[in-house]
Amino acid sequence: MSEKLKFIYPPTGVTHKGPVIDSANGYEIIECEQCGFKHVAPIPTPEELNVLYRDKYYLDEKPDYFKEVEEDLEWWKATYVNYYKIFERLLKDGAKSLLEIGSGPGYFLKCGQERGWKVLGFEPSTLACDYSKRLGVSAVNEPFDKGQVGKHGKFDVVYMNTVLEHLPDPLGTLKCATEVLKPEGLLCIMSPNDYNPLQDILRRNLDFKPYWLAPPQHLNYFDFKSIEKAITRFGFRIVESLGTFPMEFFLLGGKNYIGDNKVGRSCHFLRKEFEQNLYKYSPEQLTDFFRFLASKEFGREFVVIAKRGSVPKNPH
């Protein structure tokens, strides 16, 4: 596609423009020149998205989410412990407070609390927020925005797991996140690594459609390069980059899970077994594997950890 779109997003007054690269579900996907990353056009209003995420998301879009999280809990806990260990390595001794933006069912917060961290979550879904409160963690049933800055103090870590892709103003939320960090604090972002090299192979050579496009649930499409560009805007530099297991490996190996939850779950179980064995017997090698994936821009999601100022990338 070669058409270029230009529009003003009313809540922020920002003009967005760029070439159209794809379309899905009645939305165009543009390579936005103002934002530095791909996103939908037009962008839904915050009011439209609040209705989706407060009341409908886990009921209509992810009806099996809580059951599957509980099935995968051992793997999730091992994954979360690994992230906390990285935070603890990068922080000064004694620094242990974390804010999670988009805290979902609360298991990441619970993991931190069990390790002695002071934790707080913001979760717009009433269903997910109530679930997390039953785990005994603190969560606020609201979106995190500039109105929340300053109300809950400063944190050593702000963590956002698969949140940026859902936001109508991700740069605005990133700015707010940086404002609630302590001077030496860490910003950790995990989001789908879209338009990545393996997806490009699948699309160009094996006739796959862009299955990763999911508006209006997913509005923004980041990758390792564009998230680094976004973080740099706020004076932060990446100190750790990880790629999660590339589920595209299964597609390239002939296991087409697109639109087939049964096949998808079976592929997920294989990935989960692989990672759990390495978490148990050689966690350092698994983390090194994730770093290698990031170095090649592979991974179904990226995980980046950033600090203020000019610091070396990926110190080990």
Per-residue pLDDT of 220-252, as tens digits, reads 999 999 999 999 999 999 999 999 999 999 999
**Residue 51 pLDDT:** 75
Q: Is the dihedral of CA 290, 105, 280, 307 positive or negative?
A: positive
Helix intervals (H) in the chain:
46-51, 65-71, 73-90, 107-114, 126-134, 170-179, 197-205, 224-232, 248-252, 261-281, 283-295
The answer to whether residue 298 scores a pLDDT higher than 70 is: yes
**Residue 95 pLDDT:** 80
Query: For residue 20, what is the enclosing H or E element?
Result: strand 14-24
Question: Which residues constitute the domain of residue 271?
Answer: 46-308
Of the pLDDT bands very low, low, confident and very high (cuts 50, 70, 90), residue 50 is confident
Of the pLDDT bands very low, low, confident and very high (cuts 50, 70, 90), residue 2 is low
Residue 23 lies in a domain: no
Residue 264 lies in a domain: yes
CATH at residue 197: 3.40.50.150
**Residue 88 pLDDT:** 97
The answer to whether residue 66 scores a pLDDT higher than 50 is: yes
pTM of the model: 0.93
Residue 24 lies in a domain: no
Of the ranges 27-36, 53-62, 139-148, 242-251, which one carries the lowest mean pLDDT score?
A: 53-62
CA gap 86, 1 in Å, rounded:
42
Residue 38 lies in a domain: no
**Residue 265 pLDDT:** 95
Classify residue 280 by burial, with Cβ atoms within 10 Å: 0-12, 13-18, 19+.
exposed
Length of the chain counted residue by residue: 316
The answer to whether residue 268 scores a pLDDT higher than 50 is: yes
Residue 18 lies in a domain: no
* Count of structural domains within the chain: 1
Residue 71 lies in a domain: yes
> pLDDT by residue (tens digit) across 14-46?
999 999 999 999 999 999 999 999 999 999 888
**Residue 92 pLDDT:** 84
Residue 30 lies in a domain: no
Residue 301 lies in a domain: yes
**Residue 314 pLDDT:** 44
State the Cα angle at 163 between 36 and 242, rounded to 5°: 75
Please compute the mean of the pLDDT values over residues 291-314 and round it to a whole number. Answer: 87
